[in-house]
Every structure is written in C-alpha cells, then in structure tokens.
Amino acid sequence: MDNIFRLPELLNNKEIFETIINNKNFKIERIISTGQTTPEGTWYNQEEDEWVILLQGEATLLYSDNSSIALKAGDYLLIKAHEKHRVIFTSIDPPCIWLAIHSSC
C-alpha cells in the first residue's frame, strides 16, 4: 500500500516519475513536479492518448497552436495522441502531484 500524496525526498529539484501500473494496454504514473518545465523548443508528441489529473498544485500547459490551459488541483484533461504540448509552469509550493494514464486503446 502507498499514498498518492506521500512526498519522497525531493533531491536536486528533479521531477519524479513513478510508474504505478504498466501493461500492454495502459500505463498509470504519478508525477511530482517542483517548478520543472519542458525545455524551451521541445514539444511532447506522444504516440498514445494521455488522461491527466492535477491532484495538488498549479500548472500551465501550452499547445503548439499557442493556446494554453491553466490547471489547479482537481482539474483534469485528455491530451490526444500527437497533440503537441509542453509544460510551461509548475508550482513549487505546494509541489504538483499529477496522475497520468497513458492508453493506446
């Protein structure tokens, strides 16, 4: 048993990716962000759909069409496969706790 809100020691300001379940149909992961963003000029262009919920903190996503979405605790969204996006803000205090489900179904 574990707790989704448990915060491990956050070393060197690195983002933490923890796989909870991974099988051939989907992957569930917990992500802890403390101010990290996608490097400038880099876009996520994933092969699968990603449903994500921000459980704690605040974050902002930017899409390749220059639209953005600000997220606060409890907000969730579906990012379709090949929908180019990047993270341009994550809160430090409190840290962002994300739950992401990646699926090719």
pLDDT in tens, the chain (105 residues): 889 999 887 666 789 999 999 999 999 999 999 999 999 999 999 999 999 999 999 999 999 999 999 999 999 999 999 999 999 999 999 999 999 999 976
- What pLDDT is attached to residue 105? 66
- What pLDDT is attached to residue 60? 98
Q: Which residue type sits at 44?
A: Y
- Grouping H, G, I as helix, E, B as strand and the rest as coil, residue 101 is strand
What are the structural domains of the chain? 16-103 (2.60.120.10)
Whether the CB-CB separation of 32 and 15 falls below 8 Å is answered with yes
Which pTM does this prediction carry? 0.91
Whole-angstrom Cα distance, residue 61 to residue 43?
11
Whole-angstrom Cα distance, residue 61 to residue 73?
14
- Grouping H, G, I as helix, E, B as strand and the rest as coil, residue 95 is coil
